[in-house]
Every structure is written in C-alpha cells, then in structure tokens.
C-alpha cells in the first residue's frame, strides 16, 4: 500500500452533482450536467464590449454544448445574430461559432425570454479559459448582471468545469455576471463519475484522518491528479498496485477534485475533508 501525505489545501463540504448519462457516438458513456448561473436578474445589456464574458478552468476534458443567453431589443422578436468565442488565458482565439441567429425581446427581471445557443466547443484540461461575446448584429446586445455583493463564484459542474470569475476587459471581476447562463456540459471520451461504475472507490469520504483510494478493476498505467476548487493542480502521482492511502495531515476543511486517469479512460470524484 502506497502512502501519500498531501500538502495543505483548502476544502469545504459538498453534495455530489447528479449527472445524466447518454451514449456518445464512439459508444463510450457520455454525461451531461449544467454549470453557471441558472436564474436571471436584469441589469443592462451590451454588444460593443471586447474581452467581456466569463473565465473558467477545465479539470477534465469536456464539450461545452450550449449556453442560455438573453438578447435585448425594445420590440418583441427582433431578428439578430451573435458570435461567441472560446479563448485561452492570454485571450488568443481557440474556437468560435459562426453567426448564430437570435431573437431580441425587452428583457426584464419579471419578464424575460431565454434562448439556448449551440456552441459545441471542445475544451481540454487547462486554466484561465475565456468565453466571450465577439459580435452582435440586429439586437441591442446580450443582457448581463451586476451585484454590489459580488457573485458566488466558483460555479461548477460535476468535476469537469469550474467558472471562476466574470471578465471585464479581460480582467477578472466578481461583481458582474456576463451573458452566458446554464451551461450544458458533456463529458465524453470515457470520463465518468466514480460512483457511477464502482471502478474506483474513495473511502471514507469525508476524510477525517486518512482515506483509501482503491481501484476495483484492472486499470493500466493509472495516475491520480488532485485539483483544488479553482482547477489548480495540487498533486500528481502514479498509482502502483490497486490501493493508495491519503492521510489528512495538515489538510483543512474544503473541496477537492480527484481525477484518476488511465491510458483509455478517466474518472472524477469530489472529496471532503473535515
């Protein structure tokens, strides 16, 4: 049995997010969940802001299938288009949509009309990704929110994506929430929640003094990678044998994502330290 003493990390109590399983084209299991703000409160709209949007980290590869937006126009059903892009932490363009047709409405907190737009952005593991609005035609813009108390970032989905901040001219700023609501995330390429298949066990969870990470099936060339809530890699170790002991040591209360990777598949689990 291999013993590992983790360096100090910050964790908090959690509930596992439920994921809906579907079948991917390759025949592997795919899973979907939703991230980001799901409710809308009107503040204003914008279309000429560059480098404005949301910043996020990817703990495991996923596809950003779609987001919900609120196009603004003074008249119901005003025809327009939007273009949305995925950028890296430096703002360089990675992927973008074609012009997407939308309909504008006089949005308000009491009366608003959401629209789902399809993105299908493939996102590898990484930090500091930016989801930005690049162009708007026809409508006045997309709605966004402002709060003097800041928004409760991070927003997460399973263990794959962590939305860390709003972006104001490329700078993180938690007092806004820009444009993109209710992200639909699809985890493909054999990425699974550990408890769905029972291939990997982590017990006891919550961790109070020490816990065991156990492989319940033959997994070739496996390694464990542990990320904090902001998606920063904190630990990477090769798993030898089928068990690994993780001791509390100087761990503080909070949340971490444990990513177990093999040559063919990977699984993500959330753990609690008390």
Measured CA to CA, the distance from residue 53 to residue 166 in angstroms comes to: 6
**Which residues have CB under 8 Å from 137's CB, separation 6+?**
80, 81, 99
Q: Can you tell me the distance from the alpha carbon of 243 to that of 96, in angstroms, rounded to the nearest whole number?
A: 43
| pLDDT tens-digit readout, 91-139 | 889 889 999 999 999 999 999 999 999 998 988 888 899 999 999 999 9
pLDDT of residue 14: 28
Instruction: Compute CA distances 20 → 31, 32, 116, 172, 191, whole Å.
Output: 6, 5, 19, 31, 13
Q: How confident is the model at residue 13 (pLDDT cuts 50, 70, 90)?
A: very low
Count of residues for the chain?
Answer: 274
The predicted pLDDT at position 253 comes to 79
pLDDT, residue 182, reads 94
Predicted pLDDT of residue 178: 95
d(CA 40, CA 37): 8
Return the pLDDT at 90: 87
Note the pLDDT tens digit of each residue in 153-211. 989 876 678 899 999 988 899 999 999 999 998 875 444 443 446 778 888 889 888 88
Give the confidence band of 229 by pLDDT, cuts at 50, 70, 90: low
Angle at alpha carbon of residue 69, lines to 133 and 106, rounded to 5°: 110
pLDDT in tens, 19-54: 333 333 333 344 567 889 999 999 999 887 777 999
What's the Cα-to-Cα distance from 103 to each of 44, 59, 215, 217, rounded to whole Å?
A: 17, 34, 50, 51
3-class SS of residue 58: strand
Residues with Cβ < 8 Å from 103, sequence gap 6 or more?
Answer: 71, 73, 77, 78, 79, 80, 113, 115, 139
> 59: alpha, beta or left, given left = phi > 0 and alpha = psi -120 to 50?
alpha
Hey, what domains does the chain have and what are their CATH numbers?
2-16+191-273 (2.60.40.3080), 29-187 (2.60.120)
pTM: 0.66
- The answer to whether the Cα torsion of 169, 174, 175, 181 is positive or negative is positive
State the pLDDT confidence band at 72, using cuts at 50, 70 and 90. very high
Q: Which pLDDT score, from 0 to 100, does residue 231 have?
A: 62
**pLDDT reported for residue 230:** 59
Per-residue exposure over 216-255, b if at least 16 CB sit within 10 Å of its own CB, e if not = eeebeebebbbbbbbbeeebebebeeeebebebeebeebb
How does residue 264 score in pLDDT terms, banded at 50, 70 and 90?
low
Asked if the model's pLDDT at residue 240 lies above 80, the reply is yes
215 close to 200: Cβ distance less than 8 angstroms: yes
Other CB atoms within 10 Å distance of the CB of residue 69: 23
């Amino acid at each position: 049995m291999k013993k590992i003493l983790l360096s100090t990390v910050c964790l908090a109590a959690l509930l596992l997010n439920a994921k809906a399983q579907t079948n991917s084209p390759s025949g592997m299991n795919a899973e979907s969940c939703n991230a980001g703000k799901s409710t809308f409160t009107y503040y204003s709209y914008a279309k000429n802001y560059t480098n404005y949007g949301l910043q996020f980290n990817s703990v495991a590869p996923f596809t950003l299938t779609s987001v919900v937006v609120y196009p603004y126009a003074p008249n119901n059903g005003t025809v327009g288009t939007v273009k949305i892009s995925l950028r890296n932490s430096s703002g360089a363009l990675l992927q973008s949509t074609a012009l997407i047709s939308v309909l504008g409405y006089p949005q308000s907190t009491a009366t608003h009309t959401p629209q789902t737009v399809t993105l299908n952005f493939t996102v590898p593991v990484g930090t500091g990704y930016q989801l930005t609005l690049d162009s708007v035609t026809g409508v006045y813009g997309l709605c966004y929110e402002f709060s003097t108390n800041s928004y409760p970032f991070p927003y997460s989905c399973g263990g794959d994506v962590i939305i860390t901040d709003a972006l104001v001219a490329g700078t993180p700023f938690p007092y806004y929430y820009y444009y993109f609501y209710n992200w639909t995330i699809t985890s493909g390429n054999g990425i699974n929640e550990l408890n769905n298949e029972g291939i990997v066990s982590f017990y006891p969870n919550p961790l109070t003094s020490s816990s065991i990470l156990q492989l319940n099936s033959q997994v070739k060339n496996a390694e464990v990678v542990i990320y904090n809530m902001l998606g920063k890699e904190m630990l990477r170790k090769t798993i030898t044998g089928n068990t690994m002991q993780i001791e509390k040591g100087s761990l503080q209360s909070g949340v971490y994502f444990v990513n177990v990777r093999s040559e063919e598949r990977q699984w993500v689990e959330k753990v609690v330290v008390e």
